[in-house]
Amino acid sequence: MAEHLTGKILKAHLLSGRLQKGEEIAIRIDQTLTQDATGTMAYLQFEALGMDRVRTELSVSYVDHNTLQGSFENADDHRYLQSVAARYGIYFSRPGNGICHQVHLERFGVPGKTLLGSDSHTPTAGGLGMLAIGAGGLDVAVAMAGGPFYLNMPEVLRVNLVGQLPSWTGAKDVILELLRRLTVKGGVGRILEYGGPGVKGLSVHERATITNMGAELGATTSIFPSDEVTRRFLQAQGREESWRELQADPGAAYDGEITIELDKLEPLAACPHSPDAVKPIRELEPIPVDQVIIGSCTNSSFEDLLLVAEILDGKTVHPQVSLVIAPGSRQVMLMLARSGALEKLIAAGARILEPACGPCIGMGQAPPSGGVSLRTFNRNFRGRCGTADASVYLVGPAAAAASALYGRIVDPRELGEFPKLPPAPPPVIDDRMIISPPEDGSGVEIIRGPNIKPVPLNSPPPEKLVMTVLLKTGDNITTDQIMPAGTKILPLRSNIPAMSEYVFAPLDESFARRARQTGSGIIVGGENYGQGSSREHAALAPMYLGIKAVLAKSFARIHHTNLVNFGIIPLVFDSPADYDRLRQDDVLEIDRLREQLERGSVTIINRTQGYSFQARHNLTPRQVRIILAGGLLMEVKNRK
């Protein structure tokens, strides 16, 4: 029977369940990655599991998010991460070595392997033919301990690429076109598998840009075949032995198909404040620009920045524009330096940052008040950039460079003839900033700074839950709104008592205080609740404040799992009218909790308004057990 690529990899890693849509399956994880914003908590959880060493084929700890060291917390966490890596057999990518997704693509990714990462953009490695999935840190900790990763078998949507990209368009325009068509909810419950004759014209880095932003569709992951293009990429990285050809069988059946005619694409932009608010750039002119940032895990490869350098060569950035360049890795930075491209960027007036995430998560380079920032990033949620009233547009590198010159959002086709790019130098293979773990780490001392606190544990829920509606939100609430990042809050990621003070702060600064006073709360949400980052702190910190349940119209995949992992019950309205009727401060009751969770339908009594209504959950029997145990850590401890 003909199989698609996704099915082949899942079948080779299947531990339990059947590969039938909607059924819970468990798969073996070959590799894991963490980054420092989520990794500290993931490793604290791994320690709590009582393991002596990681049991994956490869695990890598990256420091790429919190490299802005304005106080001691980030530096202390880096020391903790390095010592934990040595103790438990984990590779450690030092600060300055680059963004986890870019470095993993270059140095560790293997076609056909599974990768689980504590970052929602882990699917970047799908550009290399990996089945790479973002998850919460606790799921990654369990995978490092040799446990399976559970998910409901997604639909597999074939994205058929035909034709060839015209000049001045790029991979960013491909994924923005998909976001325009499918929206930020269009990938929920799906894996996007790319195929068709247009694939062979895309480099691995272009493919990785597309799979990276599949996260913005809500997709479980996205994947490209491993072909001759992949082989040449790995050969250039000195890792050709990792290559193998991986393709879908001819005639493989999919759950759906969508076709993109590449030659009909034009330069696109995602407008504020959502990645799916996509329009042709030609319709946006003229909008003055205050800031342009090129980089992030989406568009920070050498080929992206080489194009930018050629566009800027001999020119000067517009006097009203701050142009910032953030290479994706140390390898990219060295290639820019050796090729002369770095000199062109600096000469044009660009400000060069270290290879790190930085501005993408609000860690520096916040735009001015009310400013317009044009970025090659993957997210433009309100306030994520660090300035609450800024407007962020997402574009490809060519449009960003052109706009930096013109001082307004501009279609790069206005630049005229596409520049002839010089040949790229060979990749610089230098892994000295990646520290290999010792064969025996049992004698390594783990260094803990004063900001590193123990992992908070939940307790099993009572049979009768009485909860106050502490907040009612709209659709597409992001994890940035639930648990903000930025220079002030993100350094607190290993200190949940301190971090919890900022839960829902962008929506209601009184939330944490009211939650503490109430002691037992519930959140009411709209569609796609919890979209965005994989940060499990958006579940862990609310749990610490006493949140027992979230009642929403629908959930984003990773956040739904994170809620379960920390013992918060995710419930779904049976009727949208019940959402409309609920008010903040209503007191809700669920009686006979175990019985109702086990049958899947839950009756909720609104004590305040004097009526009852129905909700349901999408929990598997395994997830119900986790909820009733008080979360995954408690369930694992009980098993021992």
pLDDT tens, residue by residue, 371-420: 999 999 999 988 889 899 999 999 999 999 999 999 999 999 999 999 99
Q: What does the pLDDT look like over 492-512, one tens digit per residue?
A: 889 999 999 999 999 999 999
* 640 — pLDDT class (breaks 50, 70, 90): low
CA distances from residue 492 to 88, 449, 536 in whole angstroms, order as listed: 24, 12, 13
pTM greater than 0.75 (yes/no): yes
Cα angle 69-75-76, degrees, rounded to a multiple of 5: 145
- pLDDT (average), residues 227-239: 98
465-639 has the same fold as 268-414: no
- Tell the CATH topology of 5-264: Aconitase; domain 3 (3.30.499)
Residue with tokens 């009756």: 603
Does the pLDDT value for residue 578 go beyond 70? yes
**CATH code for the domain defined by 268-414:** 3.30.499.10
- pLDDT (average), residues 77-83: 96
Sign, Cα dihedral of 127, 381, 494, 95: positive
Domain residues of the chain, as ranges? 5-264, 268-414, 465-639
- Comparing CA positions, the residue from 194, 193, 114 lying closest to residue 150 is 114
Mark 55-65 as b/e (b = at least 16 C-beta within 10 Å).
ebebbbbbbbb
Mean pLDDT of the chain: 95
How confident is the model at residue 69, as a pLDDT?
84
* 358 — pLDDT class (breaks 50, 70, 90): confident
Does the pLDDT value for residue 637 go beyond 80? no
- pLDDT (average), residues 439-458: 93
**% of the chain exceeding 90 in pLDDT:** 90
User: Are the CB atoms for 96 and 433 separated by under 8 Å?
Assistant: yes
Query: What's the rounded Cα separation, in Å, for the pair 53 and 144?
Result: 8
Q: What does the pLDDT look like over 264-306, one tens digit per residue?
A: 999 999 999 999 999 999 999 789 999 999 999 999 999 999 9
Query: What's the rounded Cα separation, in Å, for the pair 531 and 275?
Result: 11
Report CA Rg, the chain.
24
Query: What's the rounded Cα separation, in Å, for the pair 325 and 348?
Result: 12
- Kind of pairing between the strands at 569-573 and 611-616: antiparallel
- pLDDT (average), residues 201-223: 97
**CATH code for the domain defined by 465-639:** 3.20.19.10
Instruction: Centre a 10 Å sphere on the Cβ of residue 411 and count the other Cβ atoms it contains.
Output: 23
- pLDDT (average), residues 196-206: 98
How confident is the model at residue 639, as a pLDDT?
73
352: enclosing H helix or E strand: strand 351-352
- Comparing CA positions, the residue from 96, 138, 83 lying closest to residue 449 is 83
Q: Which of 216-225, 421-430, 504-513, 540-549 has the lowest mean pLDDT?
A: 421-430
User: Are the CB atoms for 526 and 475 separated by under 8 Å?
Assistant: yes
How confident is the model at residue 285, as a pLDDT?
75
CA distances from residue 206 to 4, 201, 430 in whole angstroms, order as listed: 22, 9, 23
User: Are the CB atoms for 294 and 304 separated by under 8 Å?
Assistant: yes
Query: What's the rounded Cα separation, in Å, for the pair 609 and 136?
Result: 37
Q: What does the pLDDT look like over 451-491, one tens digit per residue?
A: 999 899 999 999 999 999 999 999 999 999 999 988 888 88
Q: What is the DSSP string of 545-560?
A: TTEEEEEES-B-HHHH
| HEC sequence for 238-291 | CCHHHCCCECCCCCCCCCEEEEEEHHHCCCEEECCCCCCCEEEHHHCCCCECCE
Backbone angles phi, psi at 161, to 5 degrees: -100, 125
Q: What does the pLDDT look like over 109-149, one tens digit per residue?
A: 999 999 999 999 999 999 999 999 999 999 999 999 999 99
How confident is the model at residue 533, as a pLDDT?
84
- pLDDT (average), residues 598-621: 96
* 163 — pLDDT class (breaks 50, 70, 90): very high
Residue with tokens 């009211």: 514
